[in-house]
């Protein structure tokens, strides 16, 4: 009887073990079918877009994080990749299309640094699934953390104040950097610009580094906005829930409207923490996979308010030096 029970137990164990092995093999096969590109080495100058412009005494370095430029792609051996490949010259050139234009106006504040990073592809965002986005974003953010550490260590003047900015996925990385930023680093922050992405109530509770901007010249603050034609077009994956919004035309947080380019009216919806924009169609931007640029103006965020942002960065840098008595 004991032998029979022993043989039965061994048989059940073997069956369970073989089943587990089969399950693990299938999981490994799924992982093997997904390709993650090699991480960048930020000691390598080709992993950066840099524009040196610190000619003024009262200047600030700018650390900018690019948005999403790649779609899912397949390697030669058939593996799907959900990330940009920073070692691919074409992918870097795609990122440069945005970065170079941003550098044209944000770079006036001082030296401009923007790392290429393994940002997640647009298909990840199109899932509208926060868990999927968060899981894939870990790879992207690990690059950004490494790049930011390199930036702090290797810039010519480590005591110079800096501006942090990002658009869309880059805005998300700005929020996460603020949540992990040491206090001694945060003291040198002029302002953080989160363009076209949300700062959630949970984000504001996670760190003292996130304080909403209240005007045009406060420093050490976070500037955040998302633009829509009507609040019914708020896209939660990028814009809600959001804990703050400031109008980049008049730098107010209430509903006072502001006129942009003579014909466009921009006002804050204090209830929804978004910008409501009237008199602008956004027709130059095509819908993205049916979930962005559909009643919202996501692709226009860094460009529609370009002159406002250019002047504001200068003003906040000056205010930082005035506050420091320098």
Q: How far apart are CA 315 and CA 222, in angstroms?
A: 15
Percent of the chain with pLDDT strictly greater than 70: 89
Q: pLDDT tens digit string along 54-73? A: 766 789 999 999 999 999 99
**DSSP three-state, residue 20:** helix
As a whole number, the mean pLDDT across the chain is 91
Domain ranges for the chain, please list them: 36-226+296-324
**Residue 22 in this model has a pLDDT that exceeds 80:** no
Which fold does the domain 36-226+296-324 belong to in CATH?
Rossmann fold (3.40.50)
Q: Which of 171, 227, 167 is nearest to 200 (CA)?
A: 171
Pairwise pLDDT comparison (125 vs 28), residue with the higher score: 125
In the predicted model, what is the mean pLDDT of residues 305-324? 97
**Residue 221 in this model has a pLDDT that exceeds 80:** yes
Q: Which of 86, 70, 169, 170 is nearest to 121 (CA)?
A: 70
**Residue 93 in this model has a pLDDT that exceeds 60:** yes
Q: With helix as H, strand as E and coil as C, how does 26-73 read?
A: HHHHHHHCEECCCCCCCCCHHHEEEECCCCCCCCCEEEEECCCCCCCE
Which residue in the block uniquely carries the two structure tokens 């956004």? 282
In the predicted model, what is the mean pLDDT of residues 111-136? 97
Peptide bond into 156 cis (omega under 30): no
In the predicted model, what is the mean pLDDT of residues 106-113? 94
Q: How many CB atoms lie within 10 A of CB 29?
A: 9
Q: Which of 103, 106, 108, 102 is nearest to 55 (CA)?
A: 108
**Residue 142 in this model has a pLDDT that exceeds 70:** yes
Q: pLDDT tens digit string along 127-139? A: 999 999 999 999 9
In the predicted model, what is the mean pLDDT of residues 99-121? 96
């Amino acid at each position: 009887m004991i032998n029979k029970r022993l043989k039965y137990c061994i048989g059940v164990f073997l069956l369970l073990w073989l089943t587990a092995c089969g399950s693990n093999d299938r999981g490994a096969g799924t992982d093997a079918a997904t390709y993650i590109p090699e991480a960048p080495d930020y000691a390598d100058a080709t992993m950066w877009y840099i524009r040196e412009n610190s000619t003024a005494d009262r200047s600030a370095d700018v650390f900018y994080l690019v948005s999403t430029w790649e779609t899912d792609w397949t390697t030669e051996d058939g593996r799907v990749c959900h990330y940009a490949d920073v070692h691919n010259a074409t992918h870097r050139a795609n990122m440069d299309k945005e970065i170079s234009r941003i550098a044209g106006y944000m770079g006036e504040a001082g030296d401009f640094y923007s790392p290429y990073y393994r940002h997640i592809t647009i298909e990840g965002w199109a899932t509208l699934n926060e868990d999927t986005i968060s899981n894939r974003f870990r790879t992207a953010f690990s690059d950004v953390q490494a790049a930011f550490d390199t930036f702090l260590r290797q810039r010519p003047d480590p005591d110079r104040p800096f501006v942090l900015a990002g658009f869309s996925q880059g805005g998300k990385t700005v929020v996460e950097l603020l949540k992990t930023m040491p206090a001694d680093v945060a003291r040198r922050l002029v302002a953080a610009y989160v363009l076209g992405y949300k700062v959630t109530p949970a984000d504001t509770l996670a760190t003292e580094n996130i304080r909403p901007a209240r005007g045009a010249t406060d420093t050490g603050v976070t500037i955040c906005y998302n633009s829509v034609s009507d609040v019914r077009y708020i896209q939660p994956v990028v814009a809600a829930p959001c804990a703050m919004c400031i109008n980049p035309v008049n730098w107010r947080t209430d509903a006072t409207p502001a006129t942009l380019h003579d014909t466009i009216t921009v006002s804050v919806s204090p209830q929804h923490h978004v910008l409501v924009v009237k008199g602008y169609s956004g027709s130059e931007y095509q819908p993205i996979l049916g979930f962005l640029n559909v009643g919202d103006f996501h692709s226009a965020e860094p460009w529609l308010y370009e002159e406002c942002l250019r002047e504001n960065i200068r003003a906040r840098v000056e205010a930082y030096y005035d506050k420091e008595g320098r």
